[in-house]
Amino acid sequence: MTSLTTPLAERIRPTKIEEFIGQDHIVGVKGPIRQALKNKHIPSMIFWGPPGVGKTTLAEIITKELDRSFYTLSAINSGVKDLRLIIDQIKKQGLFGQKNAIVFIDEIHRFSKTQQDALLAAVEKGLITLIGATTENPSFEVIPALRSRCQIFVLEHHKTNDLLKFIDKALLDKHVKEKNPTVKETNALIRISGGDARKLLNAFELCVLQLDEKNNVIDDAFVQNIIQQNLANYDKNGEMHYDVISAFIKSIRGSDPNAAIYWLAEW
């Protein structure tokens, strides 16, 4: 069950590999991850790619498809102690062998060498199957010994066709359907996303929430207007300089998605 307070991106998050949008080079019918799931066996792996391309979602789907126990840690606020607690729990439950637990480490590049060494020991002994996610090049941020025991998959920014599929899926959400939106143009949404599905859906949801009985049309002008209004609200205390706001407005009208989307990550 999901509610209106649950973000749209979370409400339409896929739970099956067939529902996963994009990254066909690794999850397509002939992709290595799809084949690994078919064989009911996956290696430890690291997903390397920008935000909003499905790293966490893919880890959750893999876990569900293989019916494994799933543990997750964020390297930002976790350390060796947290990792050892999980490993001790896995040992007590006997969750190792052919169906050993999957441990997902988000932002794995933020783990220190000592923390990565602790992780390496668990991987080497076969206590866990590791899935790491990183936005940084593993060649520089992950120790060689751990890297050599993981298969590295590169996830790419979503292409336009994939982003349009996300919009189509969003239109099927029951809370979105209550607003009965008519999407006439998508260029502004695509530009704002910068290939990040989460930012796309955040922007789309923001627009949907502003629709009413008199206006249910989403076009480029409407999107730009809504985003500009919310940027103004975001700066209601005057903490953001006018020239930054001006630069943002120009970016969503123009061709600089990176400049246009940085603030959306704060939602």
User: Residue 199 CA to chain centroid, in angstroms?
Assistant: 10
CA dist., res. 224 & res. 201, Å (int)? 15
Determine what percent of the chain falls in helix, strand and coil, rounding each to the nearest 5: 50, 10, 35
Each residue of 208-245: pLDDT tens digit? 999 988 899 999 999 999 988 776 655 554 554 444 44
107: Cβ–Cβ under 8 A, 6 or more apart, which residues?
74, 75, 76, 133, 134, 135
Please tell me the pTM assigned to this model.
0.83
Whole-number pLDDT of residue 4: 58
Q: What's the Cα-to-Cα distance from 58 to each of 18, 19, 66, 218, 246, rounded to whole Å? A: 11, 11, 12, 30, 37
Half-sphere exposure (Cβ direction) of 215: Cα atoms closer than 13 Å: 10
Q: Which tokens sit at 93?
A: 């439950």
pLDDT at position 3 is: 56
Residues facing residue 45 across a β-bridge: 131, 151
Query: In the predicted model, is pLDDT for residue 259 greater than 50?
Result: no
Whether the predicted pLDDT of 144 surpasses 70:
yes
* pLDDT at 263 > cutoff 50: no
Q: In the block, which residue shows the tokens 């990550």?
A: 265
Q: Which two tokens stand for residue 222?
A: 């409407």
